[in-house]
């Protein structure tokens, strides 16, 4: 894990959860009130931080737990 991009060792499973639910990033953006760009950053494991309120809103919209969304690698 020499890359700075993967320094956190945390993987966001947003892509997988959206696919399982047949939901688009655009739809999630509308429900949660977070821009598609910011969700894409999260989805592509480029986020350095996430607000608890955003995390909670995403999990509520996807009917999942935080541990379903974020996993350690």
Question: Angle at the Cα of 57 (from 55 to 62), degrees rounded to 5?
Answer: 95
pLDDT at 2 > cutoff 50 = no
- Provide the strand spans (E) within the chain: 10-12, 70-72
pLDDT at 31 > cutoff 80 = yes
Position 8 confidence tier, pLDDT thresholds 50, 70, 90 = confident
Q: Is the pTM of this model over 0.75?
A: yes
CATH tag, 10-63: 1.10.260.40
CB distance 12 to 56 below 8 Å = no
Contacts 24+ apart (CB under 8 A), 52-60: 57/31, 57/32, 57/33, 58/14, 58/28, 58/32, 58/34
């Amino acid at each position: 894990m020499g890359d700075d991009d993967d320094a956190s060792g945390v993987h966001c499973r947003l892509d997988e959860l959206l696919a399982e639910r047949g939901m688009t990033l655009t739809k999630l953006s509308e429900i949660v009130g977070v821009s598609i760009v910011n969700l894409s950053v999260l989805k592509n494991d480029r986020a350095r931080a996430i607000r608890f309120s955003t995390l909670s809103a995403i999990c509520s919209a996807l009917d999942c737990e935080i541990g379903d969304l974020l996993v350690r690698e």
